[in-house]
């Protein structure tokens, strides 16, 4: 399921483009996300809820702004091993209990 202990792991890919350019031209975004998979009461959160939160956190970090947009985005569950094997990130961000690691594509 991509969850270990109290964490869930996701991989995210997208293109960050300028509004005036074709959607297939732009900067590739590749991130791995580690986040708490339980709420404050210790109850496991649903995967769809976790994916939504991870996607919102990615948007916050990327902050495309008024002149850029995100296209061709996808997010999916990965294992903790996949997350660990990704190696050292180019950039690392934290949004609440969510760790976002960005890699060159």
Q: What is the pLDDT of residues 58-85, one digit of tens each?
A: 988 887 677 788 888 999 999 999 999 9
Q: How many domains does the chain have?
A: 1
* Band of residue 4 on the pLDDT scale cut at 50, 70, 90: low
- Higher-pLDDT residue of 44 and 65 is 44
Q: Is the pLDDT of residue 1 over 50?
A: no
Residue 98 CA to residue 53 CA, distance in Å, equals 9
Where would I find the beta strands (DSSP E) of the chain?
3-4, 7-18, 27-36, 68-77, 91-95, 98-103
- Of all residues in the chain, the percent with pLDDT exceeding 90 is 53
Average pLDDT over residues 42-56: 91
Return mean pLDDT, the chain: 87
Structure tokens at 59: 């948007």
Q: pTM of this prediction?
A: 0.85
- Owning domain of residue 68: 3-103
Residue 59 CA to residue 68 CA, distance in Å, equals 12
């Amino acid at each position: 399921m991509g969850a270990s202990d109290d964490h869930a792991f996701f991989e995210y890919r997208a293109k960050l483009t300028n509004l005036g350019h074709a959607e297939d031209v732009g900067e590739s975004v590749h991130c791995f996300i580690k986040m708490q998979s339980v709420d404050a009461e210790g109850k496991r959160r649903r995967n769809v809820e976790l994916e939504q939160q991870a996607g919102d956190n990615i948007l916050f970090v990327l902050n495309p702004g008024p002149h850029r947009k995100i296209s061709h985005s996808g997010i999916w569950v990965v294992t903790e091993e996949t997350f660990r094997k990704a190696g050292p990130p180019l950039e690392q961000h934290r949004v609440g209990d969510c760790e976002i690691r960005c890699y060159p594509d």
